[in-house]
Amino acid sequence: MALHVRGVVLPEGDVREFWLTGDRVTYEPVRDAETVVDGGWILPGLVDAHCHLGIRYGATPIESLDEARELALQDRAAGVLALRDAGSPYPYPELDDEPEIPRLARAGRHVASPRRYLRDIGIEVEAARVAETVTAQAKAGTGWVKLVGDWIDRSVGDLAPSWDAATMTAAVEAAHAAGARAAVHTFSEEGVAAMVRAGVDSVEHGTGLSVDLVDEMARRGTALVPTMINIRTFGKIADQARPKFPGYADHMIALRDRFPGVVVAAHEAGVPLYVGTDAGGSIRHGQAAEEMLLLHEAGIPAVDVLAAASWRARAWLGFPGLVEGGLADLVVYDEDPRADLRVVRQPRRIILKGRVVR
């Protein structure tokens, strides 16, 4: 049965009505459609642009499709109707077309340097094998590859790039040749600089960004997914590391404390920002609203946060919004989230793939 929706549609902000026929939006009236939304503020479904359905809370790999489903449903309950899995040690292509699961854009496994990442999560390879491994992981995903650009180097007691600049450039080129975009995990100043100059498509976290580098990202169109919730855990990471690696601990605290200013500088420079929680590992799923509020607290205007979590993020991932022929995903709020962003914590109605789920 077709569904009828009426309310204030963002980003335009006009009262409009449209119909959902199957998994598509139409502005042509459909006879005998059931009205499921009449009033409120309507957004295209939210996006978590950096999460991990293949990693349990506690940073161990999941072991079944049911675990991945459960994590995805936690996000769906928060109004998140599209997910970019930024690296999974467990393959779950069977979920790509499940009607109850948010839309998925997936990377394969993380590509990391030996003994320089979380145990059992990534594929760890020496520099000589990075490009061929990226090519293989591009086939395992649906348009994305995930690179670990830096991590703690215990031999120097601090963050350090995973590979040399030439290897990083070759990795990005291999991803592009395979038809995939490349996302990079990076905390350090040196690591993020090398990866941006290598032509990576999105910087994940990006705490080491400088003003000059955000200008270069803006010129290149390189995206930033700040994962503010994750950065708030740096204090705990530093506390655990301090007895053995005090320099690393101090570095992590400094990166955390400067990061809100970095994100605002990136936004002001015109870097595309997208909302991502880094759910999986040390972050629980279903927290996109909290990530949005942290971005707003840092100084990003509410309407730009909404764009980063909804219509712009969906366009970036290839999931059209509430346009003629677009995808039938939407979330409805009782009050205007542009005026008070806290309302994103309480969606009144959620429709995924043309089906009411709340």
- Residues 149-159: tens digit of each pLDDT: 999 999 999 99
Considering the domain architecture, whether residues 20 and 97 belong to the same structural domain is answered as: no
Q: Are strands 158-161 and 150-153 parallel, antiparallel or unpaired?
A: antiparallel
Do both 211 and 347 map to the same domain?
no
One domain for residues 33 and 97 = no
The stretch 69-77 carries a mean pLDDT of 98
pLDDT at 185 over 90: yes
Q: Are 303 and 6 in contact (CB under 8 A)?
A: no
Q: State the total domains in the chain.
A: 2
Confidence of residue 62 (pLDDT cuts 50, 70, 90): very high
Give the Å distances, CA to CA, from 5 to 237, 260, 279, 346, 358: 46, 38, 31, 19, 14
Band of residue 10 on the pLDDT scale cut at 50, 70, 90: very high
Sheet holding 202-205, edge to edge: 123-124, 111-112, 144-148, 181-186, 202-205, 223-225
The reply to whether 122 and 104 lie within a common domain is yes
**Does one domain contain both 127 and 139?**
yes
**Structure tokens that stand for 297 in this block:** 């607290």
Q: Range of 351's domain?
A: 3-43+321-356
pLDDT-derived band at 312, boundaries 50, 70, 90: very high
| CATH number for 271 | 3.20.20.140
Report the percent of the chain where pLDDT is more than 70.
Answer: 100
- Residues ≥6 apart with Cβ < 8 Å to 166: none
- Both 182 and 162 in one domain: the answer is yes
Task: State residue 114's pLDDT score.
Answer: 97
Whether residue 336 sits in one domain with residue 194:
no
pLDDT classification of 43: cutoffs 50, 70, 90: very high
At a CB cut-off of 8 Å and minimum separation 6, what does 340 contact? none
Q: Confidence band (pLDDT; 50, 70, 90) for 30?
A: very high
* Model pLDDT for residues 226-241, shown as the tens digit of each residue: 999 999 999 999 999 9
Average pLDDT over residues 316-341: 98
Cross-strand partners of 123: 111
Tell me, yes or no, whether 220 and 328 share the same domain: no
Residues 38 and 75 in one domain: no
**Claim to verify: residue 241 and residue 312 sit in the same structural domain:** yes
Please provide residue 116's backbone torsions phi and psi, each rounded to the nearest 5 degrees: -130, 30
Share of the chain above pLDDT 90, in %: 99
pLDDT of residue 35: 98
Residues in a beta bridge with 82: 47, 103
Mean pLDDT, residues 341-350? 98
**CATH code for the domain of 330:** 2.30.40.10
Q: Is 0.95 surpassed by the pTM of this model?
A: yes
337: Cβ contacts below 8 Å, ≥ 6 apart = 10, 41, 43, 302, 306, 343, 344
Q: Does position 7 have pLDDT exceeding 90, yes or no?
A: yes
Could you tell me which of 223, 193, 190 has the C-alpha nearest to residue 47?
Answer: 223
Provide mean pLDDT across the span 91-114: 97
Q: Are residues 330 and 297 in the same domain?
A: no
Is 90 exceeded by the pLDDT of residue 222?
Answer: yes
1 pLDDT above the threshold of 90:
no
- 16 and 102 part of one domain: no
pLDDT digits (tens, 9 = 90+) for 104-135: 999 999 999 999 999 999 999 999 999 999 99
Paired tokens of 179: 């038809």
Mean pLDDT confidence for 318-347: 98
Report the alpha-carbon distance of residue 150 to residue 160 in Å, rounded.
5
